[in-house]
Structure 1
Amino acid sequence: MKKQVEKRDAAGAAGAQARTRKSAATRERIMAAATELMLEHGGTGFQIGEVSERCGMSKGSLYYYFADKGALVQAIFDRSMDGLVADVEAAVAHAPSASASILGLVEAVARAVRPGSALTLALAHGIWDVEHEVLPHIKEHLDRIIAVLEAQLERAKGEGIVRPGANSHLVAVAIIGAFAITEYAGEVVDENDDPEAFVHGVLDVVFHGIGADGQH
């Protein structure tokens, strides 16, 4: 009797795990379809019916996974921003110096806001229909990234590569802001262009300025 109960429990656990995996896979499929539609529409001006049609499921089934369009869009951006914050923190944690830390952090941001990405749509074009629900989440993550960069700029002062009087918060905002508008930055919007060149170009301006030698 005991063995039968154990087998039944094991079978139930295995079934629950399979359902969880299937549910996760379905959520991923829905989010992928919605992301495609966002890129096609240039924002969040798509209809939930378009998502369900692309996934080959009814709207009722889709609502089982996401309560409404706002929840779906929020899930897409939350995952993107969570991944970016994780990449930023990993880059900083493994960097041997402030300069390496700043470079790794900025490279992570550049990868996340590559032309055509969901984050680029949010930052460059804004979010339609659901912005009151989604934008606070994006801002919270960006504030975290800016705070990490600000701390590394302060660290760089101690290493003698940033002048002591520099406003680290303002510089951090300016650097992140540069990548928020890469879609408008001419030739760098081409997916075939080298994003690393843009990264180094931004950091060169930050650390060396644009003023002629001897001019203040």
Structure 2
Amino acid sequence: MAAASGGRAKVHGILSNTHRQASVSPRFIFTGDVMHRMLTATQYIAPLMANFNPSYSHNSTVRYLDNGTVFVVQWDKVYLQGKEDMGSFTFQAALHSSGRIVFGYKEIPVPVLQISATQHPVKAGLSDAFMVLNRSPDVPGSVAESRRRTIYEYHRVELDGSRIRSLSAVEFTPLPTCLQHQSCETCVGSELPFKCSWCHVLQRYLPPSPSPGAVLLLFYYYYFLFFREG
């Protein structure tokens, strides 16, 4: 927690002072390039997603720090919209260049299972998806206007909210993938949870399906390693 609380950490002004403009961003990390209304269901890195309102107090901030090897986002003293009497929450997410992701929880004043999901989903974990643009012949207009977006969620890791409490942490480590192998020998001798095969033409290990979901799965498939406290 000290890294994002120190002098080098930057405070995101919009996210810290505006509830409506930050209706999505102050609740989780989104790493995609296309904003859509299904983000909270399909694409997020969320130590704790809930109906937080950083504009409630001047002490409520969303801080971030990037030193080149780790990107840290900290939600500091944020309150639930309309439930400010429950107390403030302080937690963070650290994304390491190695692929490791760590969620740290400093202050969780109430059990997560008691947080209402009426106004906003309440969840913690990782999820990713890919989007396919298909032209819709039934819609008149230009090509750009007639494209239909289809979102495919290909993997999700959900945390047990009952185990999220003050002074606890969760660590995710990326599984080894076939794309790390550079020769047929290492490919054949590896033990991976994917049914892949070596391509002599491309000289690389490939997933069994050419679909975008299979390829992206190899990049973003995370394994829940352990849950620790203290």
- Where on the TM-score scale, by shorter chain, does this alignment land: which range? under 0.3
Higher Rg of the two aligned structures: 1
**Higher relative contact order, structure no. (Cα contacts within 8 Å, ≥ 6 residues apart):** 1
State the TM-score, normalized to the length of structure 1.
0.20
Q: Which has the higher helix share?
A: 1
State the TM-score, normalized to the length of structure 2.
0.19
